[in-house]
Amino acid sequence: MSHTRKVLRFGKEIPLITGIRNRLNAHEKTPQRMIFWRTLSDLSLILYFFTDHPLYFQSIGFWKYDAAFLKSCDYINNVFWLLSSIFDIMCTLVEMHHLQKEIKQLVSIKDQSSSKTIIHLIIFFFLNRVLK
What is the residue-level pLDDT of the chain in tens, covering all 132 positions?
A: 566 666 667 778 899 999 999 999 999 998 888 899 999 999 999 999 988 888 888 887 878 888 898 899 999 999 999 999 999 999 999 988 888 888 888 777 666 655 556 666 677 766 666 555
Would 74 be classed as within a structural domain? yes
Residue 35 lies in a domain: yes
With CA atoms as reference, report the closest residue to 93 among 47, 131, 37. Answer: 37
In a domain, 125, yes or no: no
Amino acid type, 132: K
pLDDT, residue 106, reads 75
Chain mean position to CA 94: 13
- In 3D space, the residue among 60, 42, 45 whose CA is nearest the CA of residue 2 turns out to be 60
Q: Cα angle vertex 68, ends 63, 73, to 5°?
A: 70
DSSP line for 43-60: HHHHHHHHHHHHHHHHHH
Position 39 in a domain: yes
Residue 109 has a pLDDT of 67
> Is residue 110 in a domain?
no
The model scores a pTM over 0.75: no
Q: Which domain holds residue 42?
A: 3-93
Residue of 87, 8, 2, 73 lying closest to 45 (CA atoms): 87
Is residue 62 domain-resident? Answer: yes
- AA identity, residue 129: R
Contact of 49 with 80, CB cutoff 8 Å: no
**What pLDDT, on the 0 to 100 scale, is given for residue 108?**
74
Structural domain count, the chain: 1
Please report whether residue 15 resides in a domain.
yes
pLDDT at 117: 63
Q: How far apart are CA 38 and CA 90, in angstroms?
A: 9
Residue type at position 70? L
| DSSP structural state of residue 114 | -
